[in-house]
Amino acid sequence: MMLDAGAETDVVNSVGRTAAQMAAFVGQHDCVTVINNFFSRARLDYYTKAQGLEKEPKLPPKLAGPLHKIIMSTNLNPVKMVLLVKENPLLASPSALDKCRRVMELICEKCMKQRDMNEVLAMKMHYISCVLAKCVSFLNERDDQLDGLVKSLLKGRDSDGFPVYQEKFIRECVRKFPYCDATLLQQLVRSIAPVSIGNDPTALSVLTQAITGQVGFMDAEFCTTCGDKGAQKRCSICKMVTYCGQACQKLHWFTHKKVCKKLEEQREEHQAQSNQVTGWLTSVTKSPRLCTHLLNLELNISHDSDQLFKKVM
């Protein structure tokens, strides 16, 4: 409410800290995310009015609402963004999406060239423009209303289900950021480039942490399909992947079914090993003689180490 009423996000307090920095200091990570992702509707509405000698605005007023919803989303998963595009009929045409894309690029440029440069917001606007450009490309080439793009982003490799296309797409978005000297870009490249595709951290997690704040470190379940936080449903077979709802589970099944059985076997193997360790620890605690033996062994090792240290000194 305060942000909607005009509160500034970059104003510092008496100790030189912004609201987001203070929220992070006290562990309010959700608050950090909201502040870092806030973009007022008034700033977007500027592009819905013809400026100077323009005969028409850069952004039709009817597109401002749907586009603002995408901008304000704290979920940077490209699947989620494509689903937001799909759910709004106003964004169904390539021409409408292309206008939105151009506005995102203009805002990105403005964020980098304004007096108080905002690299974080510029990177987010650039990333959204890349997603919209990909949507335009698919709509021009195919007639499946972006279903093909969603499946491409979700499709996992046969060995472990990792979404390779999605990872490569996000890396390409970062690489295309037009301001090569930006500190944020250099940080992202240093974090992403050395990591082999399929290993942690993923490009999405690094980008999310950079743009939204500390959300990447939070202990929460995220939907395997769309990336929404708070996913509570698990695959009934492997119990290794989570979903926010039945719709996302159905959407992901075409690729998950290839590795579901393998994940189930891995989970059972891990559980068996865990049970074995638990059983061993239980037997140890029930055997006083064994406990005493282990304690004496530890004391002897400690004593020998002390003697060796004294000789060396």
Q: What are 42-53's pLDDT values in tens digits?
A: 999 999 999 989
pLDDT at 308: 46
pLDDT band of 263, cuts 50, 70, 90: very high
Q: Could you state, in order of their start, the residue ranges of all structural domains in the chain?
A: 37-217, 263-312
pLDDT band of 273, cuts 50, 70, 90: confident
**Helical segments of 115-158, H only:** 119-141, 147-154
Q: Is the separation of the CB atoms in 95 and 139 below 8 Å?
A: no
Distance separating alpha carbons of residues 215 and 221, to the nearest angstrom: 11
Please name the residues in contact with 22: beta carbons below 8 A apart, sequence gap of 6 or more.
Answer: 13
Q: Which one-letter DSSP state was computed for residue 52?
A: T
- Percent of the chain exceeding pLDDT 70 equals 82
Chain-wide mean pLDDT for the chain? 87
Instruction: Decide which of 27 and 41 is more confident.
Output: 41
User: Could you tell me the pTM of the whole model?
Assistant: 0.82
Tokens found for residue 114: 């304004």
Q: Is the separation of the CB atoms in 229 and 80 below 8 Å?
A: no
pLDDT at 61: 97
Quick one: average pLDDT of 227-242?
Answer: 94
Residue 127 in this model has a pLDDT that exceeds 70: yes
pLDDT at 48: 97
Distance separating alpha carbons of residues 218 and 38, to the nearest angstrom: 20
Contacts of 4-13 with C-beta under 8 Å, sequence gap 24+, read 4/40, 6/40, 9/35, 9/36, 9/38, 10/116, 10/118
pLDDT at 7: 67
pLDDT at 226: 97
| C-alpha dist (Å) from residue 199 to 29, 83, 126, 174, 209 | 25, 26, 25, 18, 17
